[in-house]
């Protein structure tokens, strides 16, 4: 059932098939035809309790404005519908493109097909390239970069010797979400940043390589829209399909943590909230925390500086997924 559903949504046509996809922007709790979505009351999230441990990160909407959903058929799965401001989205897009692929982090590009200069600074090469064919090649070749504990794609395990510093800003962001959603013991230790040009996909799989399966997995989406499939413990069971739009945060916890999931389709977004300058016009920097790159955050108001990042996300999706590998940092 999972594979059949994946193939159906991967097809370009007919578009009528997409009526089955859960759309959180057009969900009526009182007149739901699929009976899958259930709104989590924002008042259950205590901002005061979080502030005892962490300051409110710049680039996020206040907690009272968050729209958090669960899927009744998939206990433990949570989706927050874009809690980011426009500049918050820009910040994580820029970090994912410019900074996270840099050494000592690991990327999928290999020496057989790319120069050492491209492997060590993919974004710099793409940004300054003027050959349209090479631009296309560079853009579509980059599929992932890993941070913190690096997953070995051959052995499917994490090796403690394959470890580089985890980005402090991404750590802070993930700890904030974990506290807000009731996971106070979560430790961000590893991340995979996936790059999805329109037309690409990710086959069904489970994230079982981590030693600690009790800890949730946090997933941040930016750029173009994805159809996300969430299944159950086997491929024989029918999955559900939901749109993940730019700024959405998905959390796989408890029963959903080891469920099959996939991305069969990347679609052109109906809007670009990373360019919506009026998302939060009163955003200030007085609560800016030291884990973030202040210079970058400030530059993202400059449309000329933002232009190359904007060109990338006009036909690509970025997904940052953060997980805890071990029970502790020791």
- How far CA 30 is from CA of 26, 33, 35, 65, 236, in Å, comes to 12, 9, 10, 20, 31
Cα–Cα dist 84/93, whole Å: 12
| Distance, C-alpha 243 to centroid of its chain | 13
127 is in an annotated binding site: no
Three-state DSSP at 249 gives strand
205 is in an annotated binding site: yes
Cα–Cα dist 92/292, whole Å: 10
Among the listed residues 160, 79, 145, 153, the one whose alpha carbon sits nearest the alpha carbon of residue 327: 160
The Cα angle at residue 100 between residues 137 and 157, in degrees rounded to 5:
95
Checking 100-103 for CB contacts under 8 A at 24+ apart, the result is: 100/145, 100/147, 100/167, 100/193, 101/142, 101/145, 101/193
113 is in an annotated binding site: no
Q: Which positions make up the binding site?
A: 205, 207, 261
Q: Which positions make up the binding site for Fe cation?
A: 205, 207, 261
């Amino acid at each position: 059932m999972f594979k059949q559903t994946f193939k159906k949504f991967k097809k370009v046509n007919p578009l009528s098939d997409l009526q089955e996809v859960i759309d959180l922007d057009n969900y009526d709790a009182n007149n739901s035809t699929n009976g899958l979505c259930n709104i989590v009351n924002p008042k259950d999230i205590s901002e005061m309790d979080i502030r005892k441990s962490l300051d409110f990160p710049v680039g996020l909407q206040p907690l009272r404005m968050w729209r958090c959903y669960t899927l009744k058929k998939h206990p433990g799965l949570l989706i927050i519908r874009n809690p980011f401001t426009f500049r918050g989205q820009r910040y994580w897009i820029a970090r994912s493109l410019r900074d996270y692929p840099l050494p000592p982090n690991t990327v999928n590009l290999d020496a057989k097909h790319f120069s050492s200069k491209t492997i060590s600074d993919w974004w710099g090469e793409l940004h300054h390239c003027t050959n349209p064919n090479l631009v296309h090649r560079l853009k579509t070749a980059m599929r992932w970069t890993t941070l913190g504990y690096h997953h070995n794609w051959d052995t499917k395990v994490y090796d403690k010797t394959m470890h580089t510093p985890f980005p402090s800003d991404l750590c802070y962001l993930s700890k904030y979400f974990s506290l807000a959603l009731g996971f106070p013991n979560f430790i961000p230790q590893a991340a995979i940043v996936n790059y999805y040009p329109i037309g690409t996909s990710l086959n069904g799989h489970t994230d079982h390589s981590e030693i600690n399966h009790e800890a949730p997995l946090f997933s941040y989406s930016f750029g173009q829209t994805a159809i996300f499939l969430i299944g159950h413990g086997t491929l024989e069971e029918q999955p559900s399909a939901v749109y993940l739009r730019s700024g959405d945060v998905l959390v796989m916890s408890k029963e959903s943590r080891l469920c099959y999931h996939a991305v069969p389709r990347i679609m052109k977004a109906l809007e670009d909230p990373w360019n919506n300058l009026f998302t939060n016009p009163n955003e200030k920097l007085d609560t800016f925390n030291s884990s973030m790159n202040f210079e970058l955050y400030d530059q993202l108001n400059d449309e000329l500086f933002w232009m190359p990042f904007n060109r990338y996300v006009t036909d690509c999706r970025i997904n940052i997924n953060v997980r805890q590998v071990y029970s502790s940092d020791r």
